[in-house]
Amino acid sequence: MSGTKAPVLPAVAAAACLFVLAGCAQLSQAPDSDYRQALEKALTAGRCDGDAVRDMWSAYGRWYAIGSSIAGHPKTDEAVALLCQGDQFRILNCTEVARASYRTLIHRFPEDGYAAMREAASASLRTLPPPIPAPGGPTQIRPVGEI
């Protein structure tokens, strides 16, 4: 009789674990997972605007908001994500998305612990071409030293 119980217990335990895992899989993903998927989709689309880019920014906004609402939560991952996001869009020649990423990092992370990332973002901003003026808007004048 003990020979028949031994194989049954591991099978029952495995079935119970699978049942629990199936329930967990139906729960909403973590905000950083949503962001990472949205970023991947935006990069795969290879476009500088559109739904994929808007979805990426929305997912980042949710992730940042949730992290900011947790007392003592280090937001280092969120800051690093912006820096990497800017770099990836700069490579794709999506300068406005890159510029927005770097500027968001600089403005949202003023604490001392993020100084190196802010410096990296500032340095990357300086490598971007000047913003394209909006149609009908004022033309940006470059400083004399850059002409």
Whole-number average pLDDT of the chain: 80
pLDDT at 122: 97
Dump the DSSP string for 110-129: -SGGGHHHHHHHHHHHHHSP
Least confident piece of the model among 15-19, 82-86, 91-95: 15-19
Supply the pTM of this predicted model. 0.71
- Span 50-55, average pLDDT: 95
In sequence order, which residues have a C-beta less than 8 Å from that of residue 78 and are 6 or more positions away? Answer: 60, 63, 64, 67, 108
Q: In which band, very low, low, confident or very high, does the pLDDT at 11 lie, cut at 50, 70 and 90? A: very low
List pLDDT tens digits, range 29-42.
677 899 999 999 99
pLDDT at 135: 74
pLDDT in tens, 74-91: 889 999 999 999 999 999
